[in-house]
Amino acid sequence: MEHAQTSRPPGPKEYKSDLKPIWCPGCGDFAVLNAVTKALAFLELPREDVALITGIGCSSRIAAYTSLYGFHGLHGRALALAAGLKAARKDLTVLVAGGDGDGLSIGGNHFIHACRRNMDLTYVMMDNEVYGMTKGQASPTTAADWSQSKLTPQGSRIRPLRPASLALTAGATFIARGFTGDPNGLAKILVEAIQHPGFAFVQALSPCPTFRPEQMEWKHQVRGFEQETSSDPMEAARRIRADDGMSTGIIYRSDYPAFQPGSGAGGDVAAGMAAIEGELRI
Ligand code: SF4
């Protein structure tokens, strides 16, 4: 891919490719694309210094809709690919994107270990509580009683995962939730996530109007967290557990040192351990 050299930083549109997204009208993933490109423009990151790695699913198509270097990888393996890229090219800003099914089902193992490994990656999970690309099956974040899928007409009867809670328990050092109905707010969160020197997890509530039309009501349910970002994992856990999953903002941030293979074992580990004294074991 060749990028024209310009004397000014690219604007948000220049981080987009010429491909027209084939997402359904109203899909929240459009807003994630806009938020990502706005965040990159705000940070004035040269396109050739950023890579976007994705898995499989509707949301994972996002890599093709940007003008960044990218890799549309295997189902659930985006984080493994991104970790390999970051290990080899620590100078790159590496973004990772995918859906709740990609990241928490077949990719669940990679998600847990990416959190605890704490490499300097930014992972955006577009969460619509459904497998959209394969026509609307229950995903790991689908409510147990959601019965609109033909495969689970009585609901899956399986409790959903809470992505933020899982990320916190597994060791992610930046955890946030945004909403595609507030793309500017999501872009601000992404700016902070990209600047965070460790594994940054951003859950983007991203409605699927095709298979979960009721999610269009999320705009009436989403609100900001009342409290500021916490650096105390126990406090962050309490906030996540007390919340209905509809509060947005940066939930948790810690300065535990990032891991970069080949450049020492993650910096000052002793200082990092002190910083997360009281780390969760739940
Ligand atoms: Fe978006 Fe749902 Fe359509 Fe997939 S099926 S593109 S998630 S609206």
Is 253 domain-assigned?
A: yes
15 falls within a domain: no
Which ligand 1 atom is the nearest neighbour of the CA of 99?
Answer: 7
Q: Which residues contact 20 (CB under 8 A, 6 or more apart)?
A: none
Torsion region of 264: left, alpha or beta (phi above 0 gives left; psi -120 to 50 gives alpha): left
The yes-or-no verdict on residue 282 having pLDDT over 70 is no
- Mean local confidence (pLDDT), 13-39: 98
CATH, residue 126: 3.40.50.970
Bridging pattern class, strands 93-99 and 121-127: parallel
**20 band by pLDDT with thresholds 50, 70 and 90:** very high
Residue 249 lies in a domain: yes
* Local confidence band at 9 (pLDDT 50, 70, 90 cut-offs): confident
Burial of 242 per CB tally in 10 Å (0-12, 13-18, 19+): exposed
Identity of residue 229: T
Residue at 250 is within a domain: yes
Coil, helix or strand for 137? strand
| Number of domains the chain contains | 1
The share of the chain scoring above pLDDT 70, in percent, equals 90
Which residue intervals of 52-107 are DSSP H helices? Answer: 78-88, 100-101
Query: How confident is the model over 186-234, as pLDDT tens digits?
Result: 999 999 999 999 999 999 999 999 999 999 999 999 999 988 899 999 9
Q: Which atom of ligand 1 is nearest to the CA of 206?
A: 7
What was the pLDDT predicted at 3? 53
Verify whether ligand 1 is closer than 6 Å to residue 23 (CB atom).
Answer: yes
- Is residue 29 included in any domain, yes or no? yes
Does 234 map to a domain?
Answer: yes
16: which DSSP letter?
Answer: B
Q: How far is the CA of 58 from the centre of ligand 1 (A)?
A: 6
Q: Mean pLDDT for the chain?
A: 92
User: Which residues, in sequence order, are CB contacts of 6 under 8 Å at separation 6+?
Assistant: none
Nearest protein CA to atom 2 of ligand 1, as residue: 208
Measured from the Cα of 28, ligand 1's closest atom is: 1
Q: Residues 168, 240: contact at Cβ < 8 Å?
A: yes
Token digits for 58? Answer: 């509707």
Which protein residue's CA is at the shortest distance from atom 5 of ligand 1? 132
Asked, for residue 17, whether it belongs to a domain, the answer is: no
94-131 confidence digits (pLDDT tens): 999 999 999 999 999 999 999 999 999 999 999 999 99
- Radius of gyration, CA atoms only, the chain: 18
Confidence of residue 270 (pLDDT cuts 50, 70, 90): low
Q: Which tens digits make up the pLDDT trace of 51-85?
A: 999 999 999 999 999 999 999 999 999 999 999 99
CA–centroid distance, 208 to ligand 1, in Å, is: 5
**Spatial separation of the C-alpha atoms in residues 181 and 241, rounded to whole Å:** 23
H or E segment to which residue 139 belongs: none
Is residue 57 within 8 Å of residue 131, measured between CB atoms? yes
Q: Whose CA is nearest to atom 6 of ligand 1?
A: 23
Q: Give pLDDT, residue 258.
A: 97
**Residue 6 included in any domain:** no
Counting atoms of ligand 1 from 1, which one is nearest the CA of 22?
Answer: 6
Q: Is 32 in the pocket of ligand 1 (CB under 6 A)?
A: no
Say what percent of the chain tops pLDDT 90.
Answer: 87
Per the structure, the complete domain to which residue 161 belongs is given by 23-275
